[in-house]
Chains A and B, each alone.
Chain A
Amino acid sequence: MGQTVDAGVATAPAPAPPRVTQRSLGRRLMMRPEIGSLVGVILIYIFFFVVASPFRSTASLATILYASSTIGMMAVPVALLMIGGEFDLSAGVAVTTSALVAALFSYNLNLNIWIGVLVALVVAVGIGFINGYLVVRTRIPSFLVTLGTFLMLQGLNLAVTKGVTGAVASQDVSQMTGFSSAATIFASSVPIGPVSVRITVFWWILFIAISTVLLLKTRVGNWVFSVGGDANSARAVGVPVNKTKIGLFMVVGLMAWFVGMHILFSFNTVQSGQGVGNEFLYIIAAVIGGCLLTGGFGSTIGSAMGALIFGMTTEGIIYAGWNPDWFKFFLGIMLLLATVLNAYVRQLASRR
């Protein structure tokens, strides 16, 4: 081959002048999925900073970050899954399921709460595995498969809780052995100067960092983009498509467990009906953050921007003294704007 290839080198044009590279730098920035949502975050911050004076204090910032982190932590795996081309509508109730499992199991068998925490971990990751396995096996769209598990879990949460406790919530676990150590990990506050910041904010930042490295700097990350972008092409070059997808569903389960533990250890008891509807907040955060609904494009930093927009809007409306009913209206506008922007980005990307 040497000869022909060398001939190719000889006839190839000289390397491009720097001008071309520089121009593409601006375009490359435009192509980052989180750019649009970053602009959104800045604008919304300025907006509430101007109209709501309580919004300006550092204590409010801590509150906003906390509100954002509760959605943002789940938005991380949901964004990964969306980049991988799938949805999980059961993500919201799976959080409640894992919290309930930990509480009901350890309380009613009178065990150390950590045993319940571990059982909940197995259950939550197991739910993710079942979701993923059903999706790759049946080839039914994940939207439908997880709609099924969503309904099943919702029913189980209510029925099992009522069956075990006779009430709609789990028993109070705050007096159980192991509670304080678990509460420190999942639901404590960290004082920073005069304000105290909920620990979930730091966990959230850690999860964003890990997932970003995973997506951009590891082999698995490459596979995630490829299975969402074009699963058949990915399979043809040897990417383990099914394992990647099942793994992504399991990561959603893992995070549902983590967030479930946070809820359990900050409220000591779990309402069996909660969590319904949150799956859409996670998906909205991911989409506002630049994830394409069709898969293959997005970032978890973007999902964090989406969650910040969520947190700032919920809290900002309260600080401004407005009727909180407006919140959903705002969120709807954000989602529409983000979708239009994403469609534009996709057009740019597939332009010849």
Chain B
Amino acid sequence: MAVETKPVTAKEPLVEMRDVGKRYGNIRALSGISLRVRAGEITCVLGDNGAGKSTLIKIISGLHQHDEGELLVDGEDVRFTSPRDALNRGIATVYQDLAVVALMPIWRNFFLGSEVRQPISRARLLNTGFMKTTSRSELLKMGIDLPDMDQPIGTLSGGQRQCVAIARAIYLGARVLILDEPTAALGVKQSGVVLKYVAAARDAGLGVILITHNPHHAYMVGDHFVLLSRGEGKLDCKRAEITLDELTRQMAGGDELSALAHELER
């Protein structure tokens, strides 16, 4: 693998997109998107509904493929044909719409697709004991205390489910963590918990892509901001180059917002 032969400097991005474009039939979902994700940094992708945020991360995570431009992982041009390919390169994704299998127990969800098995001498059966204790202790680290790992994950709250998905990605050794609106359905307190864990992932040296509608959440943890508008990159800057107010203004459509504020004034 490229990682082992080439010394990865701190500056070199884990994942990079260059002028990437994507169409769904006639719909041009993305065009000319460039983005870099480095180890120990959080890149926030912001934008309105339908701006193409989910499409962007689905390309990186192997669910969709790009039609134009390049996708580089560790400097190597790649084209993923399945989520398995991306996972094998250490890219784990917590999806907005596909996080967990509701009817399955928590521990089975935690290890789904990466099940831990016993040695050959025990017929490679599942190591259920290990998986139950590990999933429980990993969740405990996030402050989620669930006595029964056998309960269907559908019985958890939305925030707890997000946390399970994040904890799973980190535990399973992701180098790049992609989160699609992890705080969208959450209350203030649970959003805080999730953001804290996102920051923890960054401190652990992961490269993080955080998708959100919320400029406050983005500014709290982000190192880089990429703003999408109707499938095109509208803004791409470092934290030092922008203030929260400016980010919020840009997200809301800049001058359009002042006009709206004026209209709504009472």
Q: Check: B220 CB closer than 8 A to any chain A CB.
A: no
Q: Which of A294-320 contact B (CB under 8 A)?
A: 296-297
Closest to B172 in A: A237
Q: Which residues 96-142 of B have a CB within 8 angstroms of A?
A: 97-104, 108, 111-115, 117, 124-126, 128, 140-142
B101 touches A229 (CB 8 A): yes
Give the shortest distance, in Å, between B187 (CB) and chain A (any CB).
14
Complex CA–CA separation, A152 to B128 (angstroms): 43
Alpha-carbon distance between A21 and B156 when the two chains are bound, in angstroms: 16
Min CB distance B174 to A, Å, is: 12
A177 at the interface (CB under 8 A from B): no
- Proximity bits, B19-38, A CB within 8 Å = 1, else 0: 00000000000000000000
Inter-chain CA distance A70–B141, complex, in Å, is 51
Q: Is the CB of A237 within 8 A of B151?
A: no
Question: Is there a chain B Cβ closer than 8 Å to A28's Cβ?
Answer: yes
Report the nearest A residue to B203, measured CB to CB. Answer: A1
B145 at the interface (CB under 8 A from A): yes
Query: For the complex, what is the distance from the CA of A11 to the CA of B204, rounded to whole Å?
Result: 20
A239 CB contact (under 8 Å) in B61, B113, B150: B113
Which residues of chain A from 219 to 233 have any CB-CB distance to chain B below 8 Å in the complex? Answer: 219, 221-222, 225-226, 229-230, 232-233
- Cβ of A321 within 8 Å of any chain B Cβ, yes or no, is no
A20 at interface by CB-CB < 8 Å: yes
Let me know if A238 and B98 touch, CB within 8 A: no
Is residue B256 contacting chain A, with contact meaning CB distance below 8 A?
no
Residues of the B chain whose Cβ atoms lie less than 8 Å from the Cβ of A221: 126
Q: If A1-B200, A235-B83 touch, does A230 touch B151 (CB 8 Å cutoff)?
A: no
Which of chain B's residues 182-206 have a Cβ closer than 8 Å to chain A? 196-197, 199-201, 203-205
Check: A8 CB closer than 8 A to any chain B CB: yes
Q: Of A4, A8, A21, A225, which contacts B104 at CB under 8 A?
A: A225
**What residues of chain A have their CB less than 8 Å away from a CB belonging to chain B?**
1-5, 8-9, 11-13, 15-16, 20-21, 24, 28, 31, 213, 216-219, 221-222, 225-226, 229-230, 232-240, 292, 296-297, 346, 349-352
The 4 A-B residue pairs with the shortest CB-CB distance, nearest first, are: A1-B204, A238-B113, A16-B147, A237-B113
